[in-house]
A and B are shown apart, each in its own frame.
Chain A
């Protein structure tokens, strides 16, 4: 258990049966990100400011903070969050993919703004309770 005032980052790793170039194209191009995540104005340029169109929840401003093709992409998401995609080439044309979603900092209360100003009210008010209660 973490202490009450630090929230851990979300970290997820999976092995993909696809070569690293293909995975990179899926996670570091506007079309790719749009296909599995959300429509967006992403461009693979360091410092590029883009928008994730979260549909009914509004647009989320983002900014590319790290870009190292084909291994690493990181961007700020809304005011507080930070998302990283890490790719590692494996044998047999496989790729290890890691997602890190950090920036959960209730101590500074930024998380409240980060969460809610991103237009996530609906998720929090409807989907979260539904998920917890399911």
Chain B
């Protein structure tokens, strides 16, 4: 077992696609520290059947904790299991994605292991003697460099900053880890998960994202205009906090400091004025398009292409133009 462990996010029955970011960061870190890394997955009794795609990334091993106690894992139980595993293996560094899963469980594990944690990492200093890591603070307005005293820490990794982990020919070997479930905390009961059916690419990994604000007025218009353009681009749909607050879009679509952070090749902001909070979630996109009736909206100061227009006319026109263009 290596000193570095990647905790793969799972809902108990599936392993999240977004784990590729943590894997890429683990590969980069292991290469700088000249060591290797292991993967850890915690889930229900059948979770072992899901690990095959994760065995191709060069991990020394995939440790599998499969137990019905983790059918719907909660932070207290995952942290207890991960703590047990790290204690017995001697691992001192843990990596996961800065998703709501990671933000929930990773600091809890960090505290149990008495480790420092670097949240939302976006960069690593390549000099192995430095132990320096870069992360956004103040809604992305100030970049902060953190230095660790030792090679032991917990990291949550910003999904948009680490991509495309290298694949290897030989598969990582899987090994089952037994766990003493009698000592797991039992004061949290999982009741339900209300998740919209996913028919579009994941917001944080989509190549194109179309986001809408409150001028969309209602959920039906939002879906027809923003969803329609996103589908034409085979992209994902995002929303502003105002749109989510007013019930036009579901919470899981919120892009911003406290929502999801995205950095697609193409980000189209429709009816979005560009609050600091929203910009924090999308300003690292490669190409930004803004469509807004107000020529002075702050969004235009970060947009590569700005169109001063009413989105109710411009979006259908744009959707049609792209659709007919791609059919040529």
- The answer on A and B forming one complex is no
Binding site for B on A (CB under 8 A): none
Binding site for A on B (CB under 8 A): none
